[in-house]
Structure 1
Amino acid sequence: MTVSTVTRQEIVDFLYTEAKILDEWRLKEWAALFTDDGIYEIPPLGVPDADPKEYLFFAHDTRSRLQERAERLLKKEAHVEYPHSTTIHNYNNILVSDLESDVITVECNFTIHRTKREVLDTFIGKHFYELVLRDGTFAIKSKKVVLHLDSLRPHGKISLIL
């Protein structure tokens, strides 16, 4: 696959595969989807264009930090996620731009349902991706998660990968 032969459907399939990997708690595999210089970020509520040097982000991880996060969440010592939550990641309204470019941009809405200890939480918002081709497949150069929530209720924290 080359940049000039990439189709929108291949991008959509990649996103759906990412969702499946996250729902199956294959977090090390998920972290491996990122480029070596990849970034995963969740800015504060209500400030989607925040500068991480000026605001406290829920996550602003480099590729190596993502790997550490994945390994930590998979351990029994990660009490907040052991046993693991059950999640369903739904991606919709997927808009793909720059198919002919070296960096493909993608924007989509998401709904993530999480159940744990008989409590159902729902996270909604938008994902913003920059995807590149690496060894004939896609890799995530950046993923920004913008939550469209008034607050994080009832627990006030994010303990899973959005």
Structure 2
Amino acid sequence: MSHFTDQQLVDFVYAEARLLDEQRFEQWLELFCDDGYYWMPLSHDQTDPILQGSLMYEDKLLLRVRVERLAGQRTFSQQPRSRSHHLLAQPQIEVDHPWHQPQNGQYVVRAAFHYAEAREDEQNLYAGWATLQLQALDGTLRIKQKRVDLLNCDAAHRNIQLFM
């Protein structure tokens, strides 16, 4: 079992955000475990993505469909393409999180963020927290779940085109 340092975990979070901002979505998707999820809750302190509604709760297959859609020439909502920028606070290792078990290769890292998404004359700004449950697999880190808690998760949102 590989053990990762706090700095390696923090670096992973920064690198993941950079892949998104550089629109390297295929590489970003490879960061996920085969049974990984991307979750954006609809309410504060939401505990269940299945029995409660979510803004997004996508497994790797659905993430792949979105990545392919973003790359498609017939995706008119992305012509011209949206751009994004993540501004992250220093990621913190969540040692008290029940899933965080370094002896089993399981880590939890949380980072507050400001995220801007722009296309043509429109720019949307979001703020929140990203919590990544990371699994050590074959000497590398993979995302078991990325949870994105928006500050205003219960507000009416326009279409979020990219990934936070």
TM-score, normalising length: structure 1: 0.87
Q: Which residue of 2 aligns with 1:2?
A: 2
- Trace 1:126-141 onto structure 2 (pairs within 5 A): 126-141=129-144
What does residue 18 of structure 1 align with?
16
Alpha-carbon distance in 1 for matches of 2:47, 2:80 = 33
Residue of structure 1 equivalent to 2:159: 157
Q: Which of 53, 64, 67 pairs up with 2:64?
A: 67
Cα distance in 1, alignment partners of residues 55 and 110 from structure 2? 20
Aligned partner of 2:52 in structure 1 is 55
Mapped to 1, the partners of 2:20 and 2:53 lie a distance apart of 24
Q: Which sections of structure 1, spanning at least 5 residues, go unmatched?
A: none
Paired AA for residue 2 in structure 2: T
Mapped contact 1:128–1:145 kept (Cα < 8 A): yes
The runs of 5 or more residues in structure 2 that have no matched partner are: none
**1:69-88 matched pairs, under 5 angstroms:** 69-88=66-85
Check whether the contact 1:81–1:160 (CA below 8 A) recurs between aligned residues.
Answer: no
Flag the 1:79–1:48 CA change in 2: closer, same or farther, 3 A: farther
In 2, the alpha carbon distance for the partners of 1:12 and 1:80 equals 33
Amino acid at match of 2:51: E
- Structure 1 consecutive aligned stretches of length 4 or more whose deviation exceeds 4 Å: none
Q: For residues 14 and 53 of structure 1, what CA distance do their matches in structure 2 show? A: 28
| Per-residue deviation, 1:55 | 3.1
CA RMSD of aligned residues (A): 1.9
Please tell me whether residue 111 in structure 1 is matched to residue 108 in structure 2.
Answer: no
Q: Give the percent of matched residue pairs that are identical in Structure 1 and Structure 2.
A: 29
TM value normalised by structure 2: 0.86
Across the two proteins, how many residue pairs are aligned to each other? Answer: 157
Give deviations 1:104-141, integer Å, cap 9, x for gaps: 01111111112211222111101111101122221101
Which stretch shifts more, 14-23 or 82-91?
A: 82-91
Tell me what 1:121 maps to: 124
